[in-house]
Each structure stands twice: as C-alpha cells, then as structure tokens.
C-alpha cells in the first residue's frame, strides 16, 4: 500500500488521512481505524485516483455516508476512498458547476419546465430531502432520516416508506480510470436495494426528475415519515440501519422476532429490543466479529424455522 499512498499523495484534489476511526467514518462505529483514507474533492481527482490505483493493481473500496457499513476488526490493507466537499451541491445541468443546493433549487423554481436537478454525490441525502420538501419539490420525502450521501444512496438504491432512489433517478454520473460518463438509470438493473454500477467506477453525481407539489403536502409526508422512524426505530443508539432486506414472504423484522432474535445480544452488539431488524451498538468495545456472529445465527435460524433465506442489507467489509 506504500506505493499507492505515494501515488495518491501527488494528485491534486486528494487529501490523505491516516488512522481515521470507525466512529468517524460509519454510523455504527464498529471496527478498526482505517489505515489510509483518501478524500476526493473533484471529478478529475476521482479519475486520477482510479487511474493511479488501476496502474498499481491496488484494490480499493468506496465509502459514502457509512450508514450501512461495518468495518473489520483488523486494519484494512487497501485504501478507502470518500468524496469530499468539492462534490457537494447541485446544478440545473448534468455535470454542471455545483452551487449550494438551496441556490440551485431556487433557480429551478424560477422555471416553468419539468423540475430536474443534478446533485453532487457527496451531498447529504437528508439535507436534500429537507430542502426539496421545503420548496414544494416532491420525490425525496421517503429519504427523511436516511443518513446517507447521494452517491451512496444511488449505489444501493436506498429507500424507505414505499419510495426509493430509482423512483426519481434519471441518470448517474460516474468517473473511472478511462474518464467519465453518464449512465441512464434504465441500464443499471435497479431493484430492491440494488444498483448494478460498472466495476471500478465512482459515482460523482446523479440527475433526478422531481414533481411540483404543495409545500405543506411535502412537509406533511416527510414529517409523518420522520415520526414513524422515531416511533419504531432505535435512533438513539449507534447502528447501521436495517440488517436484512425484506423478503417477499414477510418483513425481516417479523421473521426475526418470531425466531426470538429481538433483544438477542453478542458482546457489545444487540438485535434492538425496539426493532428486531436493527443491530445496535451497546458498547464502545463492540467488535465486527460479534456482528458477523449474530448475522449468521439469525440467517441459520430463519432458514431452519421459516425456510426463508435472509439477505443482509448491511455490508461487512
């Protein structure tokens, strides 16, 4: 990894950090500190990093908001990439110069055309949802309370409350070693919590089609979504959100509760007593291995008792 670090240190728009804790990088706060974190602040930086790492045959992983990631207990032996503030904001044209999101949205509302917005991948999904609803632009009410970046949300087709990213997505702007391109949403085979992005690409932005709607209607729906989350999810504890995808037969939470996993604990990790499909961290010393042990036990028990194979939604690195 020394060669990769030396190569990245020479690139413009790249900030390198060492020993960044899991608590800073993820909402769960489990796992070892990251050996090398590269923060990318421009599309050109993303292209250059991809090119340099490809030339060195150096593996890497991309991290968004870290809201569904569990880092390993051992230090990673590859660089972790994350987008910086240079890729926050929005524009009226695909790939256009990024403005503060509110400024771009105000310009959008001055037009009578169908509202369409290009958003930088490092932009906070929750902030985007809050701002759009306050301006009477519908399409992201479902995202209230989802602690993700836009890029990370696109990469997994994040969703809640009956809505998801794919509902509004027009195209995805990606960077890679060979350059940059726009991929139509129809080419990404998007499904429930899935999006098939080409290997070796970094999402740097995405274009969304919105709908004009009354401000109060938007705010009401977003507020109801937030209230539901607060009533049913353990938002007061560190977590990585939903553990398993909901199978077609029943919700994952119902299956886990029926199989006795609500409140099941291993070390410093517990299936929440408030929502069985959420793992929460109860101790600062909690381990990734404890997460893996609970996941495996739950999958085996549900398979044995319900003949259903649960698919993890959280990602163990």
What is the secondary structure of 193-262 as a DSSP string? Answer: TB--PPTT-EEEEEEEE-EE--HHHHHHHHHHHHHHHHHHS-TTS-EEEESBPPPSSS-HHHHHHHTT-T
Domain architecture of the chain: domains with CATH: 2-85 (3.30.43.10), 88-217 (3.30.465.10), 234-316 (3.90.78.10)
Please tell me the predicted confidence (pLDDT) of residue 211. 96
Which tokens in the block code for residue 43? 């599309």
Is 242 a known active-site residue? yes
Known catalytic residue at 313: yes
Whether residue 66 contacts residue 27, with contact meaning beta carbons closer than 8 Å, is answered with: yes
CB 148 within 8 A of CB 125: yes
Is 24 one of the catalytic residues? no
Q: pTM of the full predicted structure?
A: 0.93
For residue 180, give the 3-state DSSP assignment. Answer: strand
pLDDT of residue 191: 94
**How many Å apart are CA 85 and CA 28, to the nearest integer?**
22
CA distances from 79 to 75, 178, 199 (A): 11, 20, 16
With b for 16 or more beta-carbon neighbours within 10 A and e for fewer, the 144-173 pattern comes to bbbbbbbbbbbbbbbbbbebbbbbbbbbbb
Q: Which is the catalytic residue, given 51, 116, 193, 213?
A: 193
Q: Which residues contact 32 (CB under 8 A, 6 or more apart)?
A: 22, 71, 72, 73, 74, 75, 76
Between the CA of residue 134 and those of 102, 206, 219, 274, what are the distances in Å?
A: 10, 21, 7, 31
Tens-digit pLDDT string for the chain (317 aa): 899 999 999 999 999 999 999 999 999 999 999 999 999 999 999 999 999 999 999 999 999 999 999 999 999 999 999 999 999 999 999 999 999 999 999 999 999 899 999 999 999 999 999 999 999 999 999 999 899 999 999 999 999 999 999 999 999 999 999 999 999 999 999 999 999 999 999 999 999 999 999 999 999 999 999 999 999 999 999 999 999 999 999 999 999 999 999 999 999 999 999 999 999 999 999 999 999 999 999 999 999 999 999 999 999 99
Q: Which of 242, 272, 288, 290 is catalytic?
A: 242
Residue 303: the pLDDT is: 98
């Amino acid at each position: 990894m020394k060669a990769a670090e030396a190569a990245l240190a020479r690139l413009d728009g790249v900030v390198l950090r060492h020993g960044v804790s899991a608590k800073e990088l993820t909402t769960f706060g489990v796992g070892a500190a990251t050996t090398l974190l590269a923060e990318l602040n421009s599309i050109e930086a993303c292209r250059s990093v991809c090119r340099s790492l490809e030339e060195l045959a150096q593996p890497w992983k991309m991290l968004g908001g870290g809201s569904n990631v569990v880092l390993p207990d051992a230090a990673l032996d590859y660089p972790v990439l994350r987008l910086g503030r240079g890729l926050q904001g929005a524009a009226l044209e695909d790939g256009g110069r990024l403005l503060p999101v509110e400024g771009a949205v105000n310009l959008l509302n001055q037009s009578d055309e169908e509202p369409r917005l290009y958003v930088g991948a490092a932009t906070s999904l929750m902030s985007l949802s809050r701002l759009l609803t306050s301006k009477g632009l519908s399409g992201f009410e479902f995202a209230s309370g989802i602690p993700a970046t836009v890029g990370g949300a696109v990469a997994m087709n994040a969703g809640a409350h009956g809505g998801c990213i794919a509902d509004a997505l027009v195209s995805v702007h990606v960077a890679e070693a060979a350059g940059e391109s726009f991929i139509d949403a129809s080419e990404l085979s998007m499904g429930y919590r899935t999006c098939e992005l080409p290997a070796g690409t970094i999402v740097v932005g995405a274009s969304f089609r919105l709908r004009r709607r009354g401000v109060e209607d938007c705010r009401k729906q977003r507020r109801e979504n937030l209230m539901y989350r607060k009533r049913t999810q353990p938002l007061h504890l560190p977590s990585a959100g939903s553990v398993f995808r909901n199978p077609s037969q029943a919700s994952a939470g119902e299956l886990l509760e029926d199989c006795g996993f609500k409140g099941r604990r291993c070390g410093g990790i517990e299936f929440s007593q408030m929502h069985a499909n959420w793992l929460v961290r109860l101790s600062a010393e909690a381990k990734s291995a404890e997460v893996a042990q609970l996941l495996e036990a739950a999958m085996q028990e549900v398979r044995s008792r319900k003949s259903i194979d649960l698919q993890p939604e959280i990602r163990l690195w």
